[in-house]
Amino acid sequence: MEQSPEEILEKWVGEYQVPLKRVCYLYLRDEALAEDAVQETFLKAYRHISRYRGEASEKTYLTRIAVNACRDMRRASWFRRVDRRFTLDRLPSQAEVKDGKNSELAVEVLNLPRKLREAVILYYYQNFDTRETAAILGISQPAVTGRLKRARDRLRAALQGGDLDE
């Protein structure tokens, strides 16, 4: 027996709500906006559930919708006027930082340019492979690999006190 759209959505919310919230929080740097983005993600997924053909994993599919929802929110003019300074104490619970070095790394990741930060968050923090990361971001696998390399170079330089400007 096939599941109804409501049953599929309920399953998705149960499995993916927390990881999607972490992605959205790291992208938007605001817990309330992250919750709104996750809600928007599930609304869009439900509206277009008949279009999901299983070509990508459910997590990849939903994360792509979430990243696009975050991008839409960041484009809004009011978003640019709000102070979004990152503080580690506001990260959702499963993304706890355990020591000073990891704390410094987390701050540096969030200071990366958006394109590099997206790739790092999806690849290292959400454990997507380069193929899935490429699908979520709508870019090629070599582009993901390049962004990850540039991000690692910038992070290495920042953590060693080097200059981040290229």
Helices marked H in 53-125: 58-75, 77-80, 100-111, 114-120
Task: Judge: domain 1-89, CATH 1.10.1740.10.
Answer: yes
Residue spans per domain, the chain: 1-89, 97-166
More confident residue, 147 or 108: 147
pLDDT, tens only, 9-65: 999 999 999 999 999 988 888 888 999 999 999 999 999 988 888 888 999 999 999
pLDDT at position 95? 42
Supply the mean pLDDT for the chain.
Answer: 82
| Digit-coded pLDDT (tens) for 87-135 | 444 444 444 444 445 678 888 888 899 899 989 989 988 889 999 999 9
- Spatial distance between the Cα atoms of 118 and 137, rounded to a whole number of angstroms: 8
Q: DSSP H helical segments within the chain, as ranges?
A: 5-28, 31-47, 58-75, 77-80, 100-111, 114-120, 130-137, 141-159
The C-alpha angle with vertex 142 and arms to 137 and 147, in degrees rounded to 5, equals 65
- pLDDT reported for residue 45: 93
Q: What CATH number does domain 97-166 carry, 3.10.310.30, 3.30.565.10, 2.40.128.20, 1.10.10.10?
A: 1.10.10.10
